[in-house]
Structure 1
Amino acid sequence: MADGYPKSPLSPSANGTTTPKPGLVPTNSVTTKEGVTVRTRIDPTLTVDDVVRQLCINLKIKEAPNNYALRDENDELVTNDNLRKKIKLKVNLKLVNAPSREARETAEKLALRGEKTLRLTLFSLAKYIREEQFAQEFLIQDGLNELVDVIYTSHGNTLAYALVAMQNLMELEYGWATLEDHFIFRVVQILSSPSSLINVCRPATAILKKLVEADPISIPGSQLAGPSTSPPVPPLGTVYRYGFTAVFEQMRKEPSLLETVVNRLGSADTAMAQYSMMLINSLLAHASDERWEEFIAELERLNVRKAVVRLMSSHTIEDLTSCILDFQANIVRVTYRKKMTDIDPDTSAHAATLRFIWASTKLQEETDEHGEPLMWRRIGFDTEDIVEEFAEVGILGLECMKRLVQSEPEFSKVVLEQLSRAEERRCPIAKASNEVVELLSEHWSIFAPGYSTSTTFQPFFLDFYKVHTLATHFFLRMWSESGAAFGDFDRVVALVRSQIKVALRSENVRAWHEVEHDFTDCEYRAVRDRQMKELELEDDLLSRVPVRNLRAKLYKESYEFVRQQRIQCLLQGAWFVNALPQSATVTRDVMRRPPRPWRFMRLDNGLKYLYYVDSAVKFLVRSGLEDLPERIEISQISEIATGTCAAPPNVLHPPNDLPPHPPSSPAALVPSALSFSLISAHEGSLADLIAPDESRWADWTDGLNMLRRDGGHVASRETAGFVQALTEIGLKIKLLDLSGEQVEIPSGMVAGAPPTNTDFFFSDLL
């Protein structure tokens, strides 16, 4: 066998054995562990086990064939699913240890802790652990405990390799359900140390994120049922037994952890910033009711919103865009929950805020002519029932009023100025503050938990309290400049609503100083003239509280309807163009039409995998997954980046996606507006695709975003437009029903006096 080659290539015979066929051109090369290379023709109808067995016979290998397996040059395991593809592409193969054998040897090497071999062993472990055969044998050999011990005792690059191996193991849905609290605390300690290396922090952050998301509500398949269903009960022994509470309890032992994570949002390493952003998003999306207020308060103290606003203007690549939009969607949830949570004067934090607000007025407590306390009415509330006064805006309104007072060092003078006026001319400061909260909530569509249709950055929304302060001062100024009296409150509210729309327009491209100018420097007459023109085009009915509440309910239903529709589109599947990354260049090799420019993708019914097939031409794909041999795991997708890639040369562009002009250079690639990439946090792009039209692009980018466990967001204007259109259509139909019956819709609902006794009952309505 000269130069490691047999004198003639091998070819399978009818009975599956390989026999020499002189003069036949070889199709594949197979290299053994000893470095011997043979050229052979492989029958694509054989199984991998048959191919390995025949290779062992022809190469006179005495060991059992089940100790061996085939891998390609990139160490990808050859399976029955991809064997035909690798034969067709004439891929060079390697005859190596079977995954189960490799796993046994890896577990043994970990137990020995050899200084010279440990890093290489961990590197191989991280590479192979995602393979089911390897993972199962590795776990049987008690490899998980050995890996955990390495994480406890190592540091530096060795620790980094061990954490990456654990991160990859946790992509499986089994095998790590035995991790204990002390392991979580060890990861927290690693992550909270400012001296930890970047390559250590990245996998440590990913591990914490995975643990946060491993709660019962994240069991694959539960997302399709929608957010309104109760959490499923996890089966015994499942990895979905951790969640926010398990992680946050360990985080509380290291108070510096959250601060360190927030600080890393400003890291020069974009991947580190992305990992930190994803961890914060997961914590926000999965926060438990018991620790929610504590966690949110800590994030607010660390000024995480400001850190994200800085990211909006500083990041230079698309990797962070999806994370930032997810954060915005999560803050919408936080804001809505605060708005819907009643204040409790018996709670120490709420009581302290109320005392601070009252103390800042520097007023003395008085009583009215009936001997009742006269306190909160003096700063603008209608009653002394402070819980009822904040009923519509909750703790969000309380926090906004606190920030308003803090922003005005001479707040007592503002209050005294109003008290010095005739009673009917006084501006109700507190009532105005709460009304501004309602107006801002309406502007940013804070209607329901978990629903956000913003497709662009909203830095002003993240500065909600600051905008509230500006708008409330504007309210006070409009009240004074218009000479308003007690009955003019709704008229001033209309002026403020109009100005909010103007000041906060196009917030993704406007500077903050322009917002300040719109609120502080505009004249009453100009605002009034514009608002009068708007009234000619609008119906005052739509601004009434019952109608706003109805719109909120319909908005939630519309969003959920569109969400289900998008997921159904993924389940049906679609054809895409296999695109070139924007970083690629058009060379002589790629100027020709690629051999398989088309890809069909379909989501499986369990919502766990995207199955696909690459083809030279489009063909009729049968229902099910039989025609789709390849797959991408949904859990590996950390971001859906858009506008990232270009169509290969000589592949037809969609009609509405033609570039405005040809590339100026043969080395330039024009990114497609209909392109998107499935990005993995640690593997880069998993797929670069171009949709056939805008509708298909919106279906898939938004559908995939809505499947993600760390919260999702809407990426396309089409989806956002559908939600808004369905909401408005539903609202008009409901209002037509009411107006047709001539039902009077009040501007607000006033509760009557409570019953004087309990001697009553509710009659049954027939």
Structure 2
Amino acid sequence: MENINITELVERLGSDEDAVRKMAVFKLQSNIGDPSFAEVFIANGGLNKLRFLALNATGNTLAYSLTSFSRLLEVDKGWDCVNQDLIARVVELVVTHPLVNILRGAMSILVAIVSHPQSTSKQASQPGVFGFRALKPAIAVHPQFLEMLVNRLSSADHALCANALQLINSLMRDAMTNDAENEWPRFIKRLQDLGVIKAILMQSSALHDLAHPILEFQGLTKVLLRKWREVKVDLEKPEHRRALKGLHLASNPDRPERTEKNTERAEDVKKSRRHNPEKWRRLGFQTESPAWEFGEVGFLGVMDLTDFVRRHDDGFQKLLLEQSTQSTEQRCPVARASLAVTSILYEHFEVGSSDTEEAKSYLALDSRTNFDNLFKPLLLQWSRLHTAGLQALFRMWKATGAELDDFGKVVELIKILIEQVVGQAPRTKDVSDVEEEIAEFDYTRLREMQMELLEEAYEGAWGTHLGQVREELKHEALQFVKEQRIRCLLQGAWFPDTLGYKQENGPITKHDLKRSVPSSWRYVRLSHNRRYLHYADFEVQGNYEPGLDMLPEKIDLSIVSSVVSNVSAASHLSSSSAETLTPSPARLATTKITIHGYLPSSSTNSSQKNTEQILLTLNPQSHSLASEWLDGLLMLLNQQPITAETTKLINLVSSYGLKIRLLNVRFEDRMVGEPEMPGREGLDEDYYYEVFGGL
């Protein structure tokens, strides 16, 4: 600034030669942003000359003048020269002028005017000078202003796009803050009809210039959603009454439902249509006074429901017709479902967050990574997400065979679905792909995710106590599976013969002395008192289960020392040397379970009293049979099961037990602490109390 003579610069601004004026205003635009420079400039009479150039200059002189004037307004100087003549000139330039450098400056001036706080303005006594109202007279002369402004968002010049979006943001914020209740919705709708959202989404990759205005637009979208939500549904308001009437008419109320009433006379049918006692309940409302049911979501809920009905008129009527053929309990409440999806989206996008929190997000915007995390383009696709979520709810309702009492549970599934698909979607994911994923998301997978989230939530809230419950359930599951495996032994099973059978025949008895050729099949069964293992050999496998009286051989389980399996040589998971089973068909052909023990002192071979002997060998035909008998024998001997199949079964039973308990306890419930003791104040001897049990 020390190299510039401000007095001389001001004189040059009033020169008759355009080249002199252009050079002067060119130097001015790079210095006027300094408040001290601006004060000296205004004191030397430069403001009126700059305003004159903004109103009358052309070409680059005009471009430099507009830029200088906008920067002067940014340092809160020069507001005395802002009037309708200047505003009209700038609006005209935005609408008609093709040059980018002129458009940038013009839009920057309008942003400053619209955003200028009226309460602190020296011109506050002049209504309509600032804010959106200041532009309305000029816009009335150029009604294509908004359309041209939205079109500028498609410009290849990102700086111009940023200026246009900043102006749109300023207009939206001022309209929602200062316009009358019935004016700002029309303005917002006009912008949306002109395609402002589509234009912004197409330019969202222009990170350097558009990041801040895009995030500001996202914040304004949340403000807009909050305002619509805060508008209470009031049937005294014509637009609210028309919206609800449109819902009723779209439901095709004149179509007779498939009931016995269709056999009535035509006069009675017409009368019943006029006085349908379920006019609104048939649409999925809980009562015949629907206005109060929008209490939680306000007019936003009306907009979402009416938008869905408008876009899917035939599907809406078909859905209601299908519902009419079902009992009241089985019908999906369409209106309630729509309101629930609106609430889910409102919560998911944190629409209720304050402007302060939004401002903090702008401060964090210093890289593409932060922008990807902060910008949620799917928020701008609110209507399409609502429709996709609502249709998913209908699909879940039908797939699960839900009834009215299950409504909350289905809503919880949709909440998880939205969080999974919408919440995990990257910034660049197209909304059509999101819609498709929501529509095709597998119900079983959704339920698994629900249970995982439940466990995580309760783990955090009730960590120690939930661990105790899990250990208890694991012990119960172990006992349950133990009983199941032992019952398999009680039922008995057939086992085939193998080579070398005679050498692994079991304890030597008088029956072995008479046998010269090994038999082909062995049947083994546990005694009812679970103390003996009975078996016998047969030439062929019978299609019956031999009783204990047909199984003369038996082993006293008290002499069994270990159970060994040769299924896998890679892993020994038991102190009894038994091994983990694998489902390989090649190995199953030689699967062998060997029972070892010590013969009692009455044995004919006294020299082997203290030596561990093979008592019995089994050759299971399948993986499941091997798992049942190997682990069944081990658990019968009070040892731990070792096969993967049994372990999986134990975990499955334990997991389901935990899930059942979690699903029957609300997160608000408390598993710890004692209940509050009732006071005795005001009581005499004539009273009683009840004790309520907890979980």
TM-score (norm 1): 0.52
Larger Rg: 2
Partners of 1:204 and 1:237 in 2: how far apart? 23
Partners of 1:264 and 1:409 in 2: how far apart? 35
| Mapped contact 1:177–1:237 kept (Cα < 8 A) | no
Whether 1:180 and 2:180 are equivalent positions in the alignment is no
| Mapped contact 1:176–1:239 kept (Cα < 8 A) | no
| Mapped contact 2:301–2:339 kept (Cα < 8 A) | yes
1:162 deviation in Å?
1.9
CA distance 1:233–1:215, shift in 2 (3 Å): closer
Whether 1:384 and 2:288 are equivalent positions in the alignment is yes
State the one-letter code of the partner of 2:345.
L
1:248 deviation in Å?
4.8
1:369 deviation in Å?
12
1:540 deviation in Å?
13
Give CA-to-partner distance per residue, 1:193-237, whole Å, 9 cap, x none: 2x4311110001111111122114xxxxxxxxxxxxxxx655678
1:400 deviation in Å?
0.9
State the one-letter code of the partner of 1:423.
T
CA distance 1:742–1:302, shift in 2 (3 Å): farther
| 1:440-589 → structure 2 map (5 Å cutoff) | 440-450=345-355, 451-452=357-358, 455-507=373-425, 508-538=427-457
Partners of 2:348 and 2:168 in 1: how far apart? 26
1:437 deviation in Å?
0.4
| Mapped contact 2:107–2:167 kept (Cα < 8 A) | yes
State the one-letter code of the partner of 2:342.
V
Aligned to 1:424: 329
Partners of 1:523 and 1:237 in 2: how far apart? 60
1:364 deviation in Å?
3.2
Normalized per residue, the structure richer in helix is: 2
CA distance 1:530–1:121, shift in 2 (3 Å): closer
| Mapped contact 1:103–1:135 kept (Cα < 8 A) | no
Give CA-to-partner distance per residue, 1:298-343, whole Å, 9 cap, x none: 222123222222122x42x422222222221221111122112123
Partners of 2:192 and 2:19 in 1: how far apart? 47
Aligned to 1:350: 240
Match of 1:276 among 136, 148, 164: 164
Partners of 1:179 and 1:387 in 2: how far apart? 46
CA distance 1:466–1:513, shift in 2 (3 Å): closer
| Mapped contact 2:393–2:411 kept (Cα < 8 A) | yes
CA distance 1:236–1:263, shift in 2 (3 Å): closer
1:106 deviation in Å?
3.4
Aligned to 1:333: 223
State the one-letter code of the partner of 1:215.
P
Partners of 1:340 and 1:175 in 2: how far apart? 38
Aligned to 1:649: none
Aligned to 1:166: 69
Whether 1:396 and 2:315 are equivalent positions in the alignment is no
1:741 deviation in Å?
9.2
Aligned to 1:405: 309
State the one-letter code of the partner of 1:170.
L
Give CA-to-partner distance per residue, 1:114-135, whole Å, 9 cap, x none: 3443322332333443455653
Whether 1:319 and 2:209 are equivalent positions in the alignment is yes
CA distance 1:108–1:153, shift in 2 (3 Å): closer
Partners of 2:214 and 2:36 in 1: how far apart? 37
SS of equivalent to 1:427: coil
1:430 deviation in Å?
0.7
CA distance 1:369–1:136, shift in 2 (3 Å): closer
State the one-letter code of the partner of 2:154.
G
Aligned to 1:580: none
| Mapped contact 2:10–2:45 kept (Cα < 8 A) | no
| 1:219-230 → structure 2 map (5 Å cutoff) | none
Match of 1:414 among 299, 319, 324: 319
CA distance 1:534–1:126, shift in 2 (3 Å): closer
Taking only aligned residues, the RMSD between alpha carbons, in angstroms, comes to 3.4
TM-score (norm 2): 0.57
SS of equivalent to 2:408: helix
Give CA-to-partner distance per residue, 1:255-286, whole Å, 9 cap, x none: 22222222211211111111112222223333
Partners of 1:144 and 1:105 in 2: how far apart? 12
Partners of 2:674 and 2:77 in 1: how far apart? 59
CA distance 1:449–1:255, shift in 2 (3 Å): farther
| Mapped contact 2:12–2:20 kept (Cα < 8 A) | no
State the one-letter code of the partner of 1:277.
L
SS of equivalent to 1:392: coil
| Mapped contact 1:144–1:176 kept (Cα < 8 A) | no
State the one-letter code of the partner of 2:401.
G
Higher RCO (CA < 8 A, seq sep 6+): 1
Give CA-to-partner distance per residue, 1:406-428, whole Å, 9 cap, x none: 22141211111112211111111
**Structure 1 unaligned spans of 5+:** 1-76, 79-93, 217-231, 543-733, 744-766
Partners of 2:132 and 2:460 in 1: how far apart? 43
Aligned to 1:197: 99
Whether 1:206 and 2:125 are equivalent positions in the alignment is no
CA distance 1:260–1:323, shift in 2 (3 Å): same
Partners of 1:337 and 1:520 in 2: how far apart? 30
State the one-letter code of the partner of 2:441.
C
Whether 1:153 and 2:45 are equivalent positions in the alignment is no
1:185 deviation in Å?
2.1
Whether 1:260 and 2:260 are equivalent positions in the alignment is no
Aligned to 1:548: none
Count residues with an aligned counterpart: 437
Partners of 1:373 and 1:200 in 2: how far apart? 64
1:393 deviation in Å?
1.0
1:735 deviation in Å?
7.7
| 1:36-51 → structure 2 map (5 Å cutoff) | none
Partners of 1:142 and 1:386 in 2: how far apart? 64
| Mapped contact 2:283–2:334 kept (Cα < 8 A) | yes
CA distance 1:237–1:128, shift in 2 (3 Å): farther
Aligned to 1:726: none
SS of equivalent to 2:133: helix
Partners of 1:471 and 1:175 in 2: how far apart? 52
1:138 deviation in Å?
4.2
